[in-house]
Chains A and B, each alone.
Chain A
Amino acid sequence: MSTIFERGLALPTVKIAASERRMMLSFLVWGFLALMMGAAIGPLQALNYGGINAYPYLRPLLQTYYQGLTIHGVLNAYIFTFFVGCGLLVYLPARELGLSPNMTLWRLCFGMMAAGTLMLLYAMFDNSSSVLWTFYPPLKGSPFFYLGMALVVFGSLLPLPIVLDLRARWKARRPCELTPLVTYMSTATMLMWLLAAGGAGTELIVQLIPWALGLTNTVDPMIGRTLFWWTGHPIVYFWLMPAYISWYALLPKQAGGKLVSDPMARLTFALLLVFSLPVGSHHQYVDPGISPIWKGILAALTLSVALPSLITAFTLGLSLEYAGRLRGGRGWIGWFTALPWRDPSVAAQVLAMLTFIFGGAGGIVLGSWQLDNIIHNTTWIPGHFHITVGTATAMTFMGVAFWMIPHLTGRQLPSRRLALASVWLWFVGMSLFSLGMHWSGLLGVPRRAWVSQLPHSTYERVYGSAHLPLTLVAIGGIILWLATIAFYIVFVGSLLGRRLSAPVPIPFAQTFGGRESYAIGADKPSGGEPASITPHPHLSPLAKMLEHLGVLTLITAVATLAAYIPILWPLVTNMTAAHGWKVW
């Protein structure tokens, strides 16, 4: 039997592996360049809330707060996350399975998203499209903005056929076996994203692009907004699930332990696939045009989507505890302090997880319909997503970069201490920023408002009660500037740094219960890649059931249509013809 495996699963040649590494590096570098620009602008917005208006000094580069905010949101939320995600979701499964991905499709994915990014940058920097990252019509940006956005969205779907092809090739040679964990999680993520992208994809192709090109005169704002949130909620899982892959499948190894439950990891991803789709309109609790009955159903579905994250908190907490105890940690807290905190990659990801506990809790508040009334569209919202995507995802990707760039380039980090400093500064800065944003949101300060442009007396009269939290926001922003500078010194340094003597392997973790994770055969002397994959001695019934990703996708698709047809129906039968506005 083993001979069949060895013949069937021959490793890709060294040359192919090198081109895969280069491609992965391109995705990482492009993504982190976007974050660099986005993060450089971010603190200006924090200063705005602190009452400091820096924009008059930034002309002609940036005209207004709203232009800066559009660039910040689009680059950080879409470009950074999509590039890093579309790299990892192909590279990690390919390395786990020991198969070579379809490079043509992967290059096309990069090319489409890169072209889209350039179009977006053009449309944003000439101030023709300061529509923010939600681009709600009837605010009307330039056609380059919407075309660029469409290229990025459709390009980001291409890892799906790549990872399906990898999985099919592996399964053809290993019938009756479960998909290895990283591949399973990557496939579930991409299937989720395929269904999710349908909303914004439709909005862009059917509504916004023809309208921006002048082929249609008017647009229906509420249909656009609803289609946007069809994508806009599950997109948070497209940001989060690649980070979860690192937490489940890599971090336990980096921390010196194992993943305590492989079936639970699969269950989490399957639940995220199903529940993240039909809940998008909970971003519209305060919108007219949607029946209160549907809002109640959405509240129930939204709280359901917290379940996989609560399972994650347990499984990952326990995996870290196991690692900490193996390292000699004792008592209630000892295992936590015993984790390898000197490793910047581990520190980044554990701090990211810690922050995400608060992010998740805030998410449950937002999902609770009546509480959302108080904080909807206040600074609470950006406060929330800066500790979820802005810390849980961003800091995990930073942590991944700390091992992955040495892995890809064979060069070492220029300074472990500076890397650690960047991570702690990000954690502290984001915590202060976010505390201030949540707090001022409770006091009614609206999100995305150029409040520092107001006459001082008006600012004092309307937002004076939020002085302390808004000062925290500004201080957090300044600390984040320091974090960004420290991080990019390390990042650029590791692209140009000294050569390592030994290659850095991918830290695929083992799981409890024998050989349940497949990707462990890192016993190949050179390269550290998984060489042989051990057959599975015991199949968990749960994992076996969850193997049917096609069925899960079908259920999700039906649930999504069942949620959206009733929501969209009254809007489609009562269409509004709104003209576009360019008012910035």
Chain B
Amino acid sequence: MSDITAQSEFEDAFHQAAERHERVWVFIAMLLLSLLLIGTLFFVVLDYGVVVKTDGYQTNPAAAATTAPFAGTALVRTGPNAYSVHMLAHMWAWTPSPLHVPQGAAITFYVTSADVLHGFQVPGTTINVTAVPGIIGSVTYTFEHAGTYNIICNEYCGIGHQNMIGRIIVDPERRL
């Protein structure tokens, strides 16, 4: 009998403590999530270049392979230290690749696909864009270090998916 009384006293005490701590925990959780949200949006705004923008739609995705601006594409100078390139994903390669870009310049990649979904990812950077047939997406990134980067397709696109590896060569800045 005394065991049962002791247990129910323990339960009561535990219950009261639980209700108090529960409120504190919910408050902490909401605070934590709010701070995380502020943090992530701060970095999104700070590094807005790698946020994927929409740069146009095409009804016929296959046309991208044969018409401008994606056909016969190359790096184009768009400003004092800014360049752009139209990157076409198709089964199972990237065009243009290898791509030479200068170190320290803002490079805007316009990305689309001529066939199925692909993923334009450059490991070691924050570049990550889905290559969607019929939609052109863009990001801007500045390579601070010279060297060779891989372009890796990160969206399943058929039997040759794993072979879809391109290259970006960042040429060292020439100091004049």
Contacts and interface: CB of A to CB of B under 8 A. Distances in A.
A364 B130 contact: no
Nearest to A136: B117
A287 B137 contact: yes
Nearest to A379: B154
Interface string B4-34: 0001001100110011011001100110110
Cβ-closest 7 pairs across A and B:
A444-B123, A576-B134, A288-B137, A583-B158, A574-B57, A377-B154, A446-B154
B163 A454 contact: yes
A220 B22 CA distance: 47
Contacts of A369: 40-41, 44
A124 B154 CA distance: 22
B37 interface: yes
Nearest to B122: A444
A202 interface: no
A579 B60 CA distance: 9
B50 A373 contact: yes
Interface of B: 7, 10-11, 14-15, 18-19, 21-22, 25-26, 29-30, 32-33, 36-37, 39-41, 43-44, 47, 50-55, 57-62, 91, 111, 115-117, 119, 121, 123-124, 126-130, 132-138, 150, 152-163, 165
Contacts of A448: 156, 161
B135 A304 contact: no
A512 B134 contact: no
A291 B158 contact: no
Given A139-B157, A326-B10, A377-B119, 10 more contacts: A66-B159, A287-B52, A288-B130, A295-B51, A310-B25, A318-B22, A368-B40, A373-B50, A512-B14, A577-B60
Select the residue from B10, B111, B132 with max chain A CB neighbours within 10 A.
B132
A584 B158 contact: yes
5 contacts: A299-B40, A303-B37, A368-B40, A575-B59, A577-B134
B18 A462 contact: no
A261 B18 contact: yes
A66 B156 contact: yes
Contact of A581 (B15, B115, B152): B115
A370 interface: yes
B29 A310 contact: yes
A578 B64 CA distance: 12
B165 to A, nearest CB: 6
A446 B44 contact: no
A566 to B, nearest CB: 13
Nearest to A512: B15
Contact of A583 (B37, B129, B159): B159
A272 to B, nearest CB: 14
Contacts of B36: 303, 364, 368
Nearest to A458: B165
Interface residues of A, number: 75
B129 A446 contact: no
A69 B119 CA distance: 18
A128 B158 CA distance: 12
Select the residue from A221, A303, A370, A581 with max chain B CB neighbours within 10 A.
A370
Say whether chain B's binding surface is mostly helix, strand, loop, or mixed. mixed
A450 B136 contact: no
A427 B149 CA distance: 36
B154 A378 contact: yes
A513 interface: yes
Select the residue from B51, B136, B150 with max chain A CB neighbours within 10 A.
B51
Contact of B117 (A225, A303, A458): A225
A286 B130 contact: yes
A5 interface: no
Contacts of A449: 153-154, 156, 161-162
Given A368-B36, A578-B133, A373 B41 contact: no
B57 A581 contact: no
A576 B133 contact: yes
Select the residue from A225, A288, A300, A449 with max chain B CB neighbours within 10 A.
A288
A290 B51 CA distance: 11
A576 B61 contact: yes
Contacts of B53: 288, 292
A583 B18 CA distance: 57
A288 B136 contact: yes
A132 interface: yes
Select the residue from B14, B54, B156, B165 with max chain A CB neighbours within 10 A.
B156
Contacts of A258: 11
Contacts of A574: 57, 134-135
Contacts of B41: 296, 299, 369
A378 B18 CA distance: 40
Nearest to B152: A446
A518 B27 CA distance: 29
A583 B155 CA distance: 14
Interface in A94-130: none
A369 to B, nearest CB: 5
Nearest to B129: A286
A300 B7 CA distance: 43
Given A288-B136, A368-B40, A450-B162, A581 B116 contact: yes
A354 interface: no
A528 B18 CA distance: 30
B136 to A, nearest CB: 7
A64 B159 contact: yes
